[in-house]
Structure 1
Amino acid sequence: MAGMKIVFGLLTFVTVGMIIGALFQLAFIRRLEESSGIPHWVDDKEAVVLRLGMVKPEVLSWSPRIILFRNFLSMEECDYLRAVARPRLQISTVVDTKTGKGIKSDVRTSSGMFLSPEERKYPIIQAIERRIAVYSQIPEENGELIQVLRYEKSQYYRPHHDYFSDTFNLKRGGQRVATMLMYLSDNVEGGETYFPMAGTGECTCGARTMKGLCVKPAKGDAVLFWSMGLDGESDMNSLHGGCEVLGGEKWSATKWMRQRATT
């Protein structure tokens, strides 16, 4: 009995010692952080631009490569992009594979506009561009101008690839490597981004159940996916589309990134 008490006492002593040691270690780490300025991101301009501590990445698929970034844009940035785009919206077009020019098509029924080179110099746009470059690891100069899109009820974008199948568009910047798709509105019914070749399960696309992966639009979130594989070839599995909007308005902003500088 006395031996049991001694063992119990020793275990208690060791446990308490471990707890105290852990507390001292946490306090030491805290002091290191404070002295290095790590927790003071609010005073770090680069950290604020990148929204460090707020953006939450989640890998959705490795083939094709798809990453979801929660809270990629602030609510103010979303509202700003919509306000800039609204008075300049026009019927969206698709790329003609023969000429490389934009043509109207029932494949895509949204309305949209492109920011101008001058608007690209605005501080809020520069912050978004910088963030896209860092999280995608593709230089800013390789990016096309941001396009803002609005999908109203019953509008959609049929599955397609972002990479080019014509030679006209390859002249400036080469092939499209990746796409950052940013959601600018909430309370959208339907309007999911659909990847038919991703995953082995099923998902809801508009009012239909489809095989593949669907990403529900949420204001501030962004989806990064690659049109080019690690072998340098166009990835056919990057096929994607915009599901039919059943209610509300779906607003998004798209940034396509090329192999080389576009300017």
Structure 2
Amino acid sequence: MDRGRFILGLLTFVTIGMMIGALFQLAFIRRLEESSDNFNWANDNEAHILRLGYVKPEVISWSPRIIVFHNFLSMEECDYLKAIARPRLQISTVVDAKTGKGIKSDVRTSSGMFLNSEERKYPIIQAIEKRIAVYSQIPSENGELIQVLRYEKEQYYKPHHDYFSDAFNLKRGGQRIATMLMYLSDNVEGGETYFPMAGEGQCSCGGKTVKGMSVKPSKGGAVLFWSMGPDGSTDPRSIHGGCEVLKGEKWSATKWMRERATS
């Protein structure tokens, strides 16, 4: 009887010891993970600018080439871009293939504005520009000025290509290579970025089910897609559009990147 109690007590002691040991081990592993996440980053300005540990890339298509970057912008950066843009919004235009100039069109019903060259020097804008350059692997000097857009209910941008078909726009920096589209608002119904020639399945676009792939707006997220293929030719499969907004406001910021420096 005494021996049975002894064995039972010993087993209880060992079991409790193992549980305590496991808890200590989990706590130790957690500390290692936390220290790894912050290793040399707390005072690393480069890591802060690139949002290392926050940005999560996700390849959704290789033809056309499309990468979604989750958490690309901070919430403060999103609000900052909206605040700069709001007082200067004007009806958006499209490029006229014959003249290369911007004209109003029912193809695009949003309102927008471009940051100017002085605003490009602001520290927050420079940080965003550098992040775009690093993740796209295209020098920042090859980029056009950032455009901020607002789509209200029932507004949209019909499917189109970002590359140029006119000689006028090719003079400054050559052809557009890629586009970084950044989302600045949440709580939007509809307003997806739609790629009709990506994938072989179906997706949602402005409340309709259509062929292709779409990316739902998510504040701080971004989508990078290439207008030119690896062989250097324009990619017709890069056709894309902004689906109709059904509810709320969709804010976005676009950065187009060229073959050469734009200035």
TM-score computed with the length of structure 1 as normaliser: 0.87
Change (3 A) 1:227 1:80: same
Within 2, Cα distance between the matches of 1:230 and 1:67? 15
Question: 1:77-115 CA distances to partner (integer Å, 9 max, x unpaired)?
Answer: 000000000000000000000000000000000000000
Residue 42 of structure 1 and its aligned partner are, at CA, apart by 1.9
Equivalences for residues 119-158 of structure 1 within 5 A: 119-158=119-158
Within 2, Cα distance between the matches of 1:92 and 1:245? 16
Question: 1:190-240 CA distances to partner (integer Å, 9 max, x unpaired)?
Answer: 000000000000001002100000100000000000000001000000000
Name the aligned partner's letter for residue 144 of structure 2: E
| Percent of aligned positions that are identical | 79
Within 1, Cα distance between the matches of 2:131 and 2:49? 7
Within 2, Cα distance between the matches of 1:97 and 1:157? 17
Task: Provide the residue aligned with 2:229 in structure 1.
Answer: 229
Name the aligned partner's letter for residue 69 of structure 1: F
Task: Provide the residue aligned with 2:6 in structure 1.
Answer: none
Task: Provide the residue aligned with 1:63 in structure 2.
Answer: 63
Task: Provide the residue aligned with 2:181 in structure 1.
Answer: 181
3-state SS of paired residue (2:178): strand
Residue 38 of structure 1 and its aligned partner are, at CA, apart by 6.7
Residue 40 of structure 1 and its aligned partner are, at CA, apart by 2.7
Within 1, Cα distance between the matches of 2:38 and 2:104? 50
Within 2, Cα distance between the matches of 1:139 and 1:105? 32
Task: Provide the residue aligned with 2:107 in structure 1.
Answer: 107
Unaligned runs of 5+ in 1: 1-22
Unaligned runs of 5+ in 2: 1-24
Verify: 1:248 aligned to 2:221, yes or no: no
Task: Provide the residue aligned with 2:207 in structure 1.
Answer: 207
Within 2, Cα distance between the matches of 1:65 and 1:246? 28
3-state SS of paired residue (1:232): coil
Residue 39 of structure 1 and its aligned partner are, at CA, apart by 1.1
Name the aligned partner's letter for residue 112 of structure 1: G
Within 1, Cα distance between the matches of 2:127 and 2:42? 15
Within 2, Cα distance between the matches of 1:207 and 1:55? 29
Within 2, Cα distance between the matches of 1:89 and 1:177? 26
Name the aligned partner's letter for residue 203 of structure 1: C
Within 2, Cα distance between the matches of 1:80 and 1:248? 19
Within 1, Cα distance between the matches of 2:39 and 2:163? 41
Name the aligned partner's letter for residue 211 of structure 1: K
Question: 1:99-152 CA distances to partner (integer Å, 9 max, x unpaired)?
Answer: 000000000000000000000000000000000000000000000000000000
Within 2, Cα distance between the matches of 1:258 and 1:90? 25
3-state SS of paired residue (2:167): coil
Verify: 1:258 aligned to 2:236, yes or no: no
Instruction: Could you list the structure 1 runs, at least 4 aligned residues long, displaced by more than 2 angstroms after superposition.
Output: none
Alpha-carbon RMSD: 1.9
